[in-house]
Structure 1
Amino acid sequence: MSQPRSSQPNACAALRSGLPDRYLTPDDIADILEVPKETVYQWRRKRVGPPGFRIGKYLRYDPADVRAYVIERMAADAA
């Protein structure tokens, strides 16, 4: 059972404290960035979100790629 959204870390806090030392799932990305899981899948289909890869039938994300994506988005929004 998942925790309520309010107890989940926000994206900035997750990036500051460090992402987990494992490949992330779409559920992890949705929780960290506080977006619906379907949004994560739409980003993948449109090739606009953090790059993911497949291990068999499972979709995974490298924490370094997620961090780079968020930093890139923050820089684009600041410009």
Structure 2
Amino acid sequence: MEDEFITPAAVSTLTGVSVAALAQLRYRGIGPTFYKPTPKTVLYKRSQVLAWVEAAAQQRTLPRTRTA
């Protein structure tokens, strides 16, 4: 059932990203792909959310650079 549609609340539970942060990501165009079947309905495909998380995989956190 990875291609099921899920709500922002379900995405938040799945990823730990708040519903408000998901709204900001949608606004900025940098979050997972979403669907708007009606003006007030936002849906995500579970498989696309998981792919978005997988695409953000990191091997390490880069050290902070110092600025003068």
TM-score between the two structures when normalised by the length of structure 1: 0.64
How many residues align? The count is: 59
Does the alignment pair 1:59 with 2:50? no
- Give the 5 Å matches for 1:1-79: 22-56=4-38, 57-74=40-57, 77-78=58-59
TM-score between the two structures when normalised by the length of structure 2: 0.73
Cα distance in 2, alignment partners of residues 53 and 78 from structure 1 = 31
Deviation at 1:67, TM superposition (A): 1.4
Larger relative strand fraction: 2
Larger relative helix fraction: 1
CA RMSD of aligned residues (A): 1.8
Q: Structure 1, residues 1-55: CA drift from partner, whole Å, max 9, x if none?
A: xxxxxxxxxxxxxxxxx75x62011111111111221001011111111110101
Percent identity, aligned pairs only, is: 22
Larger radius of gyration: 2
**Structure with higher RCO (Cα < 8 A, 6+ apart):** 2
Q: Which runs of 5+ in 2 are unaligned?
A: 61-68
Q: Which runs of 5+ in 1 are unaligned?
A: 1-17
Cα distance in 2, alignment partners of residues 78 and 40 from structure 1 = 24
